[in-house]
Structure 1
Amino acid sequence: MRANLASSIAVSCAAVLALPLSLATPAGAAGAFPTVPGAASAAPAVPPAAEPAGSTRSIPLEPLADPASDGPRDRVLGSAAAAGRGLVRRDVRPFSLVGVVWDDVHAALHGTVQVRTRATGGGLWSDWQSVETHNDEHGADPGTAEGHSRALRGSTAPLWVGDSDGVEIRVRPEEHVREGGGGREPAAPLPAGLRLELVDPGPEPAAEARDRVLPAAGAQAAAPLELPALTRAQTLATLPAAAAAAKPYIGPRPKIITRKGWGADEKLRERGFVYTKTIKAAFVHHSATGNRYTCRQAPSVLRSIYRYHVVSSGWRDFGYNFAVDKCGNIYEGRAGGVAKAVMGAHTLGFNTNSMGIAVLGSYGGTTPPAAAVTAVARLTAWKLGLYGVNPKGKTYLTSGGGNLYKKGSKVKFNVIAGHRDGFATECPGVRLYGKLGTARSASAKYQGRR
């Protein structure tokens, strides 16, 4: 995968680095984000001095006698259920997030995945929880280096379960009635190479002094834990006078917790960055990881998703450009610079000239908190404003291929769109999707538009 990406990264970096250097923090405002180095080659990652360890354990799934039964070792009953796979209850090393992967990234899992877990040290098992099996609508665009990587695997969405040391899983194929009424049978076989991924996010990053101390002459400044919020005047001051005059509708930069702030292990991801030409749209997602997390746990959720995207699914980095938790905290996602047009892997077919924002949680049946919707509005007001885009407007993107629009189709979107607008999917959940109109109006107001 690393070798395949080298040429496209260098070309993409050269294009994006024509952006003005004015996206730095203005004089007197703390927390400048490092700019991308020179255009001659891909910028190397510089790992922080200390990172949380974390781990990923991959366990092959076994044939189950009857995955529909709650019994741990039922004998085969001669039904189609015998085609299921899973694991009976077992003790494992501590983990906090689960998912299922398989060998062929192009193979679909037509069936259901359910897990239950045991809280660490408590001895109590959870109820069965369903894992979202349709995750192929995320990922890199077809035809890109990342989309062609040999490291890619098929995968479910990840599910956050909290600190656990026991697991049980059952995977059932979809069934249909045999012709002639002869019982039921699998509608399609399960993908080959099914494996359970157990992700331990590792400990929280060590506490660091928040005071901003100027480095000694010639020394490189350490990456900040967060970028502080700026006023609208300070934000405009980050641009040259001509650019500020040409793009007067820019929302104030919100506080953004950086990758260092949530503890991203920079040794996991691909080195260098891939960029697109501009940002014309923002696709809103939900992470489908469930809502059983606290906002204090959000950095752990992010580290877990990051590991699952890279180590388990074979992506080059965290898929989304930004993430937002239920308390409205905003996090830097894919590396490359929060103000830059970083190519993500979030809306298959429409990652070019767009950005992806994941609201942590599942919002098919749960209403997203107002703080999260407000954070989406503030983030888009700033980031879209940098590229002269009206959050209440419309835009056109060219499809890279997907299940709604064939490759090469020019598609009209709301500038702030839901994932389902570009792909046949439930994402970002009907409840979050219903709040996007509110986010568009608020975002435009933050930009100073009427």
Structure 2
Amino acid sequence: MRGILASSIGVACAAALALPLAVPQGARAAAPASVTDVAGPVPGSTQSLPLSPLASDRAADGAGTQGIARRDVLPFSLVGVVWDDPEAELHGRVQVRTRATGTTAWSDWQDVETHNHEHSADHGTPERTAGRLRGSTAPLWVGDSDGVEIRVEGEPAAPRLAEGSTDGSTDRSTDGSTDRPAGSAAPLPTGLRLELVDPGDDPPPQGPEADGPRATALTPESAASSAVNAELAPIGAPVISELTKQQTEADLVESRGIVQASTARPYIGPRPRIITRKGWGANEKLREKNFVYTKSVRAAFVHHSASGNNYRCAQSPSVLRSIYRYHVKSSGWRDFGYNFAVDKCGNIYEGRAGGVAKPVYGAHTLGFNSNSMGIAVLGTYSSSNPPRAAVNAVARLTAWKLGMYGINPRGKVIMKSGGSNLYKKGKKVRLNVISGHRDGFATECPGGRLYNKLGKARQSSARYQGR
């Protein structure tokens, strides 16, 4: 827990508990030296297939409709659609159906959340200006498949009448310029491609946690990703073990070299069990080499991954590896976008590399990635209730992580917008410390059913902190 920005933790102790030093906002920390280099194939793969115009009974001339007819492909488990311009929005409907591997059974049509650019790096940051970003839908987990069909239809345009017009035959803007016929489909972004992601095999079993991780050779990238958590777990560990509240408090005080009064305790929740990137099999060669940090962690934004609920918890590592590959290889991000992920069984996973106890700069909430962390609950919770275990995991995680920065989960925080479709750049916004994605950006995320549970998460998180 050393190595985070020095600041007052704001708890009732005999002396102030200073937070460990962090790299300044936007700075890149050099990766530690390698342990052992291991050559070998990169696990997982991505098939990228261009979409082309389709005929449709709803758009007979094919205008505004693109897709791929039913076809055989190499095995994959996750799908998404990307396009050239990250600032362009896809206004329309994306639907896919897939065939389970080794069968003749095709799924029903499934909707893919259009997502657009609400989950992404902030404007003006190197991650956004590097020229690699693409527009993208949310990823959809479909399970082991070897056949696919897709259609993307532009959203029908609402009629806009010219002044004095009554027939509605032409969509005309108020300045007199003709846009397109009323009711015609919205133009789709250019360069639409279907991304089919194979997560690769699960990492080999590591043995009982009590025995510690097996001695395995690490690539330089894996060693670097693990070393930033070295004060919490051995290098190469698949799991950071949980601590009791008393152990967490003692660890927090000891790590800062502060003599604490016997009656004073920091407001921090017990450290939860966290499955590391090594534990879920992240291929560290996919991401950018170095780590990027912000100044602090003053807020947590909760998301759903919008990847569907058709996964077993044993498949969560595969889901994560797929989303990670989709974020980096397909969408052009520098790493996995969220700082943490939670599955429907309540398991907590390390997300973007840089250290679970550190203020890692994410790409989860456009305009509000600075001084915050993003937590993605794996699944889609627009019309499905999030499992109690997942909501409780959000509470436990925030109680610990926010507690290291002296933040009350039930409180409010003033955040400065980096620019979103809700708040212009530079605007100061008062938000809940634990907010939903939709609080910073006009979006359905984290789904209405999960959003409605955030009040409970705030209360539980504060209770875990001892407030």
* Pick aligned residue for 2:46 from 25, 41, 56: 56
Aligned counterparts of 2:137 and 2:259: Cα–Cα separation in 1: 43
Question: After superposition, where does 1:201-240 map in structure 2 within 5 Å?
Answer: 201-210=199-208, 211-212=211-212, 222-240=235-253
Does the residue aligned with 2:407 lie in a helix, a strand or coil?
Answer: coil
Per the TM alignment, residue 19 of structure 1 is displaced from its structure 2 partner at its CA by 5.0
In structure 2, what residue type is equivalent to 1:387? Y
Distance 1:67 1:240, change over 3 A: farther
Aligned counterparts of 1:368 and 1:259: Cα–Cα separation in 2: 24
> Cα deviations across residues 125-172 of structure 1 (Å, max 9, x unaligned)?
000000011231111111111121200000000000000000000000
Matched, 1:43 2:31: yes
* Pick aligned residue for 2:60 from 77, 80, 88: 77
**8 Å CA contact retained: 1:51, 1:265:** no
In structure 1, what residue type is equivalent to 2:252? L
**8 Å CA contact retained: 1:336, 1:342:** yes
* Pick aligned residue for 2:79 from 91, 95, 98: 98
Matched, 1:289 2:323: no
**8 Å CA contact retained: 1:236, 1:244:** no
In structure 2, what residue type is equivalent to 1:43? A
Aligned counterparts of 1:83 and 1:40: Cα–Cα separation in 2: 42
> Cα deviations across residues 75-115 of structure 1 (Å, max 9, x unaligned)?
x833xx43311000000000000000000001111111000
Distance 1:328 1:83, change over 3 A: same
Aligned counterparts of 1:365 and 1:144: Cα–Cα separation in 2: 35
Does the residue aligned with 1:94 lie in a helix, a strand or coil?
Answer: strand
Q: Give unpaired runs (5+ residues) of structure 2.
A: 8-20, 162-166, 170-180, 216-222, 228-233
**8 Å CA contact retained: 2:153, 2:185:** no
Matched, 1:113 2:103: no
Question: After superposition, where does 1:244-393 map in structure 2 within 5 Å?
Answer: 248-393=266-411
**8 Å CA contact retained: 2:22, 2:295:** no
2:446 counterpart residue number:
428
> Cα deviations across residues 238-284 of structure 1 (Å, max 9, x unaligned)?
22353866871010000000000000000000011100111000000
Distance 1:229 1:177, change over 3 A: closer
Aligned residues: 410
Aligned counterparts of 2:382 and 2:70: Cα–Cα separation in 1: 29
Per the TM alignment, residue 65 of structure 1 is displaced from its structure 2 partner at its CA by 1.5
Aligned CA RMSD, in angstroms, stands at 2.8
> Cα deviations across residues 313-360 of structure 1 (Å, max 9, x unaligned)?
000000000000000000000000000000000000000000000000
2:18 counterpart residue number:
none
* Pick aligned residue for 1:412 from 422, 426, 430: 430
Does the residue aligned with 1:112 lie in a helix, a strand or coil?
Answer: strand
* Pick aligned residue for 2:107 from 97, 111, 126: 126
**8 Å CA contact retained: 1:67, 1:170:** no
1:441 counterpart residue number:
459
Aligned counterparts of 2:313 and 2:410: Cα–Cα separation in 1: 29
In structure 1, what residue type is equivalent to 2:52? E
* Identical amino acids, percent of aligned pairs: 66
Aligned counterparts of 1:213 and 1:16: Cα–Cα separation in 2: 24
Per the TM alignment, residue 213 of structure 1 is displaced from its structure 2 partner at its CA by 7.0
Distance 1:404 1:273, change over 3 A: same
Aligned counterparts of 2:288 and 2:57: Cα–Cα separation in 1: 38
Does the residue aligned with 2:48 lie in a helix, a strand or coil?
Answer: strand
In structure 2, what residue type is equivalent to 1:225? P
> Cα deviations across residues 27-53 of structure 1 (Å, max 9, x unaligned)?
xxxxxxxx999x995225859857871
**8 Å CA contact retained: 1:158, 1:305:** yes
1:189 counterpart residue number:
187
Aligned counterparts of 2:77 and 2:33: Cα–Cα separation in 1: 27
Moved more, 389-398 or 221-230: 221-230
Q: Give unpaired runs (5+ residues) of structure 1.
A: 1-14, 21-34, 69-75
Per the TM alignment, residue 187 of structure 1 is displaced from its structure 2 partner at its CA by 4.5
**8 Å CA contact retained: 1:45, 1:271:** no
In structure 2, what residue type is equivalent to 1:131? V
Per the TM alignment, residue 66 of structure 1 is displaced from its structure 2 partner at its CA by 1.6
